[in-house]
Structure 1
Amino acid sequence: MRAAVVTAPGECSVREVPAPQAGVGEVVVDVERVGVCGTDVEFFTGEMAYLHDGQARFPMRLGHEWAGVVRAVGGGVDPAWLGRRVMGDTMLGDGTCRRCLRGHQHVCAGRQEVGIRGGRPGALAEQIAVPATSLHELPDGVDPVLGALVEPGGNALRAAQAANLAPGDRVLVLGPGTIGLLTAMFARAAGAEVHLLGGTAESLAFARTLGFGHAWTEPDLPDLPFDAVVDATNAAYLPARALDLVEPAGRVVYIGLAGSPSHIDTRRLALKDVTAVGVLSASPGLAATIAAYAAGQVDPRPLVAATVGLDQVGAVLAGERLPGAGPGPKFHIDPRPAG
């Protein structure tokens, strides 16, 4: 089969690789859509921390935001999975440790992460093999585009839930990228008044097209009480800024990751009686995200700027704005053969 392979920083090519086989407990999926995210870009640039601490190494097959159709099942897997449209959890715990047994497999110390950690190939290929236990079936109303947006949506849903929003609460989301906009969508669905803080006029203009009229740059941010602040950026100074901006007894949620350490003053955290929550993974939010998409409570499809083939993966990873792309922050890959 054809797959996009990253062999070194800045080097990505489409290669013929052996098609996956369904091992015991696994399925093989024909991939229909794959989202490219910031983690994939960090691997492509060589900046991703896992490359430096031995948890990942080149060559790599990236891709953890995916949807497709089950084509084969391995031993011990219910054959009823065949032909089902699915997406899959990125985090694959060992299933035996204390964290897994307590339902926290997404923070298992020995976990694999699809297309990210532990040598598990990702979905930027015509097919992918994954454990059947990681699958979530997609209902008819959730098309491949939505299916490939479930994984980032699960992260965003968890961030919105961590903000503990009630109807009428005011939340400020830092960063109008994919995760920030998805978080804003889930916060709006919860009845909150949503504000967005961004760095470019273009990103804020796009946010306004999605119905987010309260979209600001830092100099323009109004002096308002924010019941919750969600940091969905990679800026090292914004975690502290989030703590400054949130109301006493409010909540700050950290879902973005900076390339260098961020620092907050825990005295300020305590004296403001603020609850701080970190969000790592979509895993606990996948089922609820699928349900929200199926019910039409959140429709993130406008976030997808373009869908292209495997041959253009390298350009997308390199940050090229491809001809004809829309204003959204997300690129999707359709790895199926043309025609």
Structure 2
Amino acid sequence: MAAQLSLGNRQITRILRSSSGRFEQISGIVPDVNSAAHRQAVLIGPNDLRVRTQTGGTPGAGELLITPDAVGVCGTDLELLAGTMGYLTDGGATYPIVPGHEWTGVVDSVGPGVNGFAIGDRVVGECSIGCGVCGVCAAGRYHLCPDRTETGILNRAGGMASTLVFPARAAHRLPPSVDPLDAALIEPLAVAYRGLHRLPAAPIGPIAIVGAGTIGLLCALAARAIGMGPVLLVEHHAARRRFSAGLGFDAVATVPHRFSQVIDATGTPSGTAAAVQGTADGGTIVVLGLCGRPSVPVDLDSLVLRDLAMVGSLGSPGVWPEVIDLVATGRVLPSTIVSHEFALDEATDAFTRARDADPATRKVVVRPQRSAASRQAASLQAATDPERPGTASW
């Protein structure tokens, strides 16, 4: 059920989807971030995550000041925490890092020269942000720009904070009816959607998705929404197979036969090996998961002798309007995979929950504008409200 949150001192009205699926108009508050301390989760170094307070930023030319209210914890965030993420090991990124590339929030103020955004707009933002002027960006491959930043990963602060200064050219407005939990997962949904489109355009047929974590499930949901498939999820954890079945997908522990189209969404050596083994001669494997290791054994002879194509997929360039439409029209509701929510002050607990690899933990989300006390109260309400499916922590 929708609830009013007292977060600051500016009143706005918004439409939110309740747990029953109805749309309700409620009053909300946008905090006056210019008069409040700015809090952010910060990765100081490997296995060192802290929440600290400092002066908030103001938007410059072409920028928005945003109040994030839902931020997903991703496998890439866990690699940043561990110090194994490729950008750290090759020197491209350095600590400290404010994580949070899967985020949504509300516009608090608009910098000079910005058009198309207003205070109170719900927005999401892309992860890869190119320079916008080089030949790579001009070709639409801004996710490969040599001077790019990546939100919450590479030389740009992420959304796991009470405020976020963000370039308007990389932000997208959402209809007010989109729930914050759905909005926060538009970024990983866009990654999944783009991965699906790295598969050959023809023939369209069955797709095996190895791994039923966040990206694997979002691939399956997106594929079904756009008419690809049928989809088979391959997952060795029984709890994840049961959850996948509850979403209406067939899920098995091992690949039953070879598929011409396979997505590896595991980020593990064993998952990659299963994907290669499960691909039919002449087929294509799209690799979406980062493993955080310097190398992973791959049977290169099998790739050559069976004429396999193995394709990486980085980010989500050029697909955001299509993905936003999938969510805004209700064809994909990413929030269905959220299992835990935490306050910003509980960021360490959120990362621990995500890292512990409990099969019952699907997607962990941090809510920067909520307190631990309100989280505990909401958990109590969820436990006593039979209409509210709720998440384990909120």
Equivalent residue number for residue 272 of structure 2: 239
Asked if 1:295 is matched to 2:329, the reply is: yes
Match of 2:168, as an amino acid?
Answer: A
Partners of 1:293 and 1:156 lie apart in 2 by 13
In structure 1, the gaps of 5 or more residues are none
Asked if 1:279 is matched to 2:313, the reply is: yes
- Larger mean CA deviation between 313-322 and 103-112 belongs to 313-322
The 5-angstrom pairing of residues 21-60 of structure 1 reads 21-60=58-97
Deviation at 1:59, TM superposition (A): 2.0
- Name the SS for the 1:130 alignment partner: strand
Would the alpha carbon gap of residues 79 and 228 (structure 1) be closer, same or farther in structure 2, given more than 3 Å must change? closer
In structure 2, the gaps of 5 or more residues are 1-37, 375-394
Deviation at 1:273, TM superposition (A): 4.2
The 5-angstrom pairing of residues 1-339 of structure 1 reads 1-78=38-115, 80-118=117-155, 120-164=156-200, 169-189=205-225, 190-212=227-249, 214-218=250-254, 221-222=255-256, 224-258=257-291, 259-265=293-299, 268-319=302-353, 327-338=360-371
Deviation at 1:151, TM superposition (A): 0.3
Match of 2:336, as an amino acid?
Answer: P
Match of 2:289, as an amino acid?
Answer: G
Would the alpha carbon gap of residues 57 and 192 (structure 1) be closer, same or farther in structure 2, given more than 3 Å must change? same
Contact 1:146 1:300 in 2 (8 A): yes
Match of 2:101, as an amino acid?
Answer: H
Contact 1:35 1:330 in 2 (8 A): yes
Would the alpha carbon gap of residues 302 and 167 (structure 1) be closer, same or farther in structure 2, given more than 3 Å must change? farther
Contact 1:171 1:228 in 2 (8 A): yes
Would the alpha carbon gap of residues 146 and 48 (structure 1) be closer, same or farther in structure 2, given more than 3 Å must change? same
Contact 1:41 1:318 in 2 (8 A): no
Match of 2:165, as an amino acid?
Answer: A
Match of 1:252, as an amino acid?
Answer: I
TM-score (norm 2): 0.78
Instruction: State the identity %.
Output: 36
Deviation at 1:155, TM superposition (A): 0.6
- Name the SS for the 2:222 alignment partner: helix
- Name the SS for the 1:251 alignment partner: strand
Q: CA RMSD in A?
A: 2.4
Partners of 1:234 and 1:326 lie apart in 2 by 15
Partners of 1:320 and 1:278 lie apart in 2 by 24
- Larger mean CA deviation between 242-251 and 294-303 belongs to 242-251
- Name the SS for the 1:81 alignment partner: coil
> C-alpha offsets along residues 56-100 of structure 1, whole Å, 9 cap, x if unaligned?
222221111011111112221127433211000111111122111
TM-score (norm 1): 0.90
Partners of 1:282 and 1:320 lie apart in 2 by 23
- Larger mean CA deviation between 163-172 and 304-313 belongs to 163-172
Higher relative contact order (CA 8 A, sep 6+): 1
Deviation at 1:22, TM superposition (A): 0.5
Aligned residue pair count: 332
Would the alpha carbon gap of residues 170 and 257 (structure 1) be closer, same or farther in structure 2, given more than 3 Å must change? same
